[in-house]
């Protein structure tokens, strides 16, 4: 993410604009994802100057106006913007209705510290808390349940009742676990995940009870890698982009630092859980 206050589309700052020997522009230098940009009838110098307009400081109409001064027609400039946008190469101003700005990091441990520091680098100022109950004033847009191996049911019930999205992030046997993202009334919840595991392991509820209040252990590199994975998902959640939905939606990410393997486990709503009735039945016991 960038801390720049955008007024219009910006060429993604991760991309380098390079010139090939043939004169064709190349966006990025990854052997698989780099793109060559060539428009019939438009020389590379004009294209480069057009890309320079995509700095986020100009609105869409201003970009089109300046493009006509470079010799491009308004139609061609609009088509070029659409091509770049369809390829996922543009960053757009935030949509106010989709903003996630008030985040609470709930937990005490190395992951809560790493995530708080990372959110600060993203330009956010998360609140911190711990314990079995939450003071929801001011009301957060998202709560990160960090470090504890098994969140307290009183806490998750409170978040469900108040319809506050939440995302668990913890260590399990040295591996990092992120998700699933719980959107009360729309997705499965953490109890759904427990019910699913109990379907395969009937003794799981008694085992899970022993995890309450305990903090997972991981090596410093594993902690940092798990926090980085969670922060990448938070970027997607904050952006609310239809182009890239969070991977933790209906899923749990498991990062094994030893094998460098990332596993995705599907976490659907469970038929015996009442969590999806929240929107229509606030009196339901969740």
Global pTM exceeds 0.75:
yes
pLDDT digits (tens, 9 = 90+) for 244-280: 789 999 999 999 988 999 999 999 999 999 887 765 5
Report whether pLDDT(114) > 90: yes
Structure tokens at 44: 């590379």
Report whether pLDDT(281) > 60: no
3-state secondary structure the chain: CCCCCCCCCEECCCCCEEECCCCCEEECCCCCCCEEECECCECHHHHHHHHHCCECCCCHHHHHHHHHHCCCCHHHHHHHHHHHHHCCCEECCCCHHHCCCCEEEECCCHHHHHHHHHHHHCCCCCEEECCCCCCCCCCCCEEEEECECECCHHHHHHHHHCCCCEEEEEEECCEEEECCEECCCCCCCHHHHHHHHHHHCCCHHHHHHCCECCECCCCHHHHHHHHHHHHHHHHHHHHCCCCCCCCCECEEEEEECCCCEEEEEECCCCCCCCHHHCCCCCCCCC
Report whether pLDDT(2) > 60: no
Tell me the C-alpha distance between 137 and 284, whole Å.
24
Most confident residue range from 91-100, 125-134, 217-226:
217-226
**By C-alpha distance, which of 185, 152, 151, 187 is closest to 169?**
151
pLDDT digits (tens, 9 = 90+) for 144-169: 999 999 999 999 999 999 999 999 99
pLDDT digits (tens, 9 = 90+) for 191-217: 999 999 999 999 999 999 999 989 999
Give the sign of the dihedral formed by CA 251, CA 158, CA 161, CA 100. negative
What are the structural domains of the chain?
A: 10-91 (3.90.930), 96-277 (3.40.50.720)
Q: How confident is the model at residue 235 (pLDDT cuts 50, 70, 90)?
A: confident
The two beta strands, 142-146 and 103-106, are: parallel
Which pLDDT score, from 0 to 100, does residue 205 have? Answer: 94
172 conformational bin, left if phi > 0, alpha if psi -120 to 50, beta if neither: beta
Structure tokens at 282: 């606030």
Q: How confident is the model at residue 243 (pLDDT cuts 50, 70, 90)?
A: low
- Angle (CA) 79 27 25, round 5°: 75
Which pLDDT score, from 0 to 100, does residue 86 have? Answer: 85
175 Cβ contact list (under 8 Å, min separation 6): 218, 222, 254, 255, 256, 257, 258
Q: How confident is the model at residue 121 (pLDDT cuts 50, 70, 90)?
A: confident
């Amino acid at each position: 993410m960038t801390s720049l206050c955008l007024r219009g589309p910006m060429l993604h700052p991760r991309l380098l604009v390079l010139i090939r020997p043939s004169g064709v522009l190349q966006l990025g230098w990854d052997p698989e994802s780099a793109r060559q940009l060539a428009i019939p009838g438009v020389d590379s110098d004009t294209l480069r100057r057009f890309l320079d307009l995509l700095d986020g400081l100009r609105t869409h109409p201003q970009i089109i106006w300046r493009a006509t001064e470079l010799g491009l027609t308004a139609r061609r400039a609009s088509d070029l913007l659409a091509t770049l946008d369809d390829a996922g190469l543009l960053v757009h101003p935030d949509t106010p209705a989709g903003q996630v700005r008030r985040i609470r990091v709930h937990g005490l441990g190395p992951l809560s510290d790493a995530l708080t520091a990372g959110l600060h680098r993203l330009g956010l100022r998360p609140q911190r808390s711990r314990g079995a109950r939450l003071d929801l004033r001011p009301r957060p847009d998202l709560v990160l349940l960090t470090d504890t191996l098994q969140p307290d049911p009183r806490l998750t019930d409170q978040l469900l009742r108040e319809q506050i999205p939440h995302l668990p992030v913890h260590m399990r046997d040295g591996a990092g676990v992120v998700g699933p993202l719980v959107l009360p009334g729309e997705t499965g919840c953490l109890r759904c995940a427990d019910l699913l595991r109990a379907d395969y392991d009937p003794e799981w509820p008694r085992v899970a009870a022993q995890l309450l209040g305990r903090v997972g252990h991981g090596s410093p590199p594993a902690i940092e890698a798990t926090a980085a994975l969670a922060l990448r998902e938070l970027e997607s959640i904050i952006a609310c982009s239809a182009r890239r939905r969070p991977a933790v939606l209906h899923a749990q990410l498991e990062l094994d630092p030893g094998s460098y393997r990332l596993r995705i486990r599907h976490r659907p709503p469970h038929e015996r859980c009442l969590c999806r009735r929240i929107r229509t039945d606030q009196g339901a016991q969740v």
